[in-house]
């Protein structure tokens, strides 16, 4: 089961959206929780790390992800997606195009945290 919570990396608060191994209906619930958290943050202030390793996708979920990415855009400063495998790496491009958000794709969560930290100091 996934989770959405803040983690600390070198004094940077990162919203970790861990969808790894989740079924589509679990991810939809987590997307709603994530949006509630983001709405409570100042505009363009949230650094997000999204882990989708082993996550299952379907058409409805892809649409929900697109909508969530678009809704959360005003709150996000930088996003990294990690754990993409196979078809999921193709799907991320449709999410980026639909939401208008820039997202970095990296394979390792530790590398992702380091990249977000660099963005916070740029």
Element (DSSP H or E) covering residue 81: strand 76-82
pLDDT in tens, 9-52: 999 999 999 999 999 999 999 999 999 999 999 999 999 999 99
What is the CATH classification number for the domain harbouring 49? 3.30.750.24
Count other Cβ atoms within 10 Å, centred on residue 34.
23
Asked if 28 and 17 count as a contact pair (C-beta separation under 8 A), the reply is no
To the question of pTM greater than 0.85 for the whole model, the response is yes
- Asked if pLDDT for residue 117 goes beyond 90, the answer is yes
Tell me which residue range forms the domain holding 95: 3-120
pLDDT in tens, 50-99: 999 888 888 898 889 889 988 999 999 999 999 877 656 556 666 666 66
Take residue 28 and report the two structure tokens written for it.
């939809």
In Å, how far are 81, 112, 118 from 51, measured between CA atoms? 6, 10, 19
Span 108-116, mean pLDDT?
94
Question: Could you tell me the pLDDT band of residue 113, with boundaries at 50, 70 and 90?
Answer: very high
Percentage, residues of the chain above pLDDT 70: 87
- Split into its structural domains, the chain has a count of 1
């Amino acid at each position: 089961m996934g989770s959405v919570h803040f983690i600390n990396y070198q004094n940077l608060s990162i919203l970790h959206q861990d969808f790894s191994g989740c079924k589509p209906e679990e991810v939809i619930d987590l997307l709603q929780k994530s949006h509630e958290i983001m709405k409570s943050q100042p505009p363009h202030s949230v650094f997000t790390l999204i882990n989708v390793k082993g996550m299952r996708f379907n058409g409805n979920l892809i649409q929900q992800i697109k909508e969530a990415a678009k809704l959360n855009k005003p709150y996000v400063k930088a996003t990294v997606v990690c754990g993409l495998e196979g078809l999921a790496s193709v799907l991320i491009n449709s999410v980026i195009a639909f939401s208008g958000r820039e997202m970095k794709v990296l394979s390792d969560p530790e590398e992702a945290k380091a990249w977000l930290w660099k963005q916070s100091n740029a």
